[in-house]
Chain A
Amino acid sequence: QKEVEQNSGPLSVPEGAIASLNCTYSDRGSQSFFWYRQYSGKSPELIMFIYSNGDKEDGRFTAQLNKASQYVSLLIRDSQPSDSATYLCAVNPPWGSQGNLIFGKGTKLSVKP
């Protein structure tokens, strides 16, 4: 069974702090990794994707990938109350068709003013 695991949280951080969200995946051959943000009652919104080992930065967001450890993380710097949402990690396994994603259950982030 191909799995993506996330801590369900809630993760609570004060405004201005760094929020660190973590994700592990079981299929060592997975190629692409995505982070989506989902506000309550809304659909997932893409934040970042990462394919190569290392860090990828986009504004306040940094995705980190370590394929050897089968670990991907998302750092949110200078967290804002508007960042409060559920963050979904998704993995595209190598066996799958071109687009099916396996999602974790999501980590709920709460940023306190």
Chain B
Amino acid sequence: ETGVTQSPTHLIKTRGQQVTLRCSSQSGHNTVSWYQQALGQGPQFIFQYYREEENGRGNFPPRFSGLQFPNYSSELNVNALELDDSALYLCASSTGGSSTDTQYFGPGTRLTVL
């Protein structure tokens, strides 16, 4: 167990809807990164939050947005859901500030878009 928690575990939505996924970072960690993992693929970086500010973004459209709270927990919001958004969404926490920081993953949220 890494101490990173995510909710919900599973979620089913229909195309066009909006979804919010939540992540609580490991104690002492101030950085949260979000990844999308499609079936049979490696995780793809969505964005990272460091001390409540976005600190880097991958190649995802603006309908993917996020937030980090003062307690360093984080949300991932996805608007106008598409079928291809069906994936495992992973949150990873780290201490931040260095390229050598190790990221610890939560259990993930499985999103299915119908």
Q: What is A's interface to B at a CB cutoff of 8 Å?
A: 4, 31-32, 34, 36, 42-46, 49, 51, 88, 90, 92, 94, 96-106
B60-93 to A contact mask, C-beta < 8 Å, 1/0: 0000000000000000000000000000101010
Closest to A92 in B: B99
Report the number of A-B residue pairs with Cβ-Cβ less than 8 Å: 83
Q: A98 to B103, alpha carbons, bound, how many Å?
A: 11
Cβ contacts A to B, 17 pairs, < 8 Å: A36-B105, A42-B108, A43-B108, A45-B105, A92-B100, A97-B56, A98-B56, A98-B96, A98-B97, A98-B98, A99-B31, A99-B56, A99-B92, A99-B99, A100-B33, A101-B43, A103-B42
Residues in B25-48 with C-beta less than 8 Å from chain A: 31, 33, 35, 40-45, 48
Q: B48, B56, B105: which contacts A44 (Cβ < 8 A)?
A: B105
Complex alpha-carbon distance, A36 and B2, angstroms: 13
Specify the chain B residue showing the minimal Cβ separation from A97.
B56
Instruction: Name the distance in Å between B36's Cβ and chain A's nearest Cβ.
Output: 11
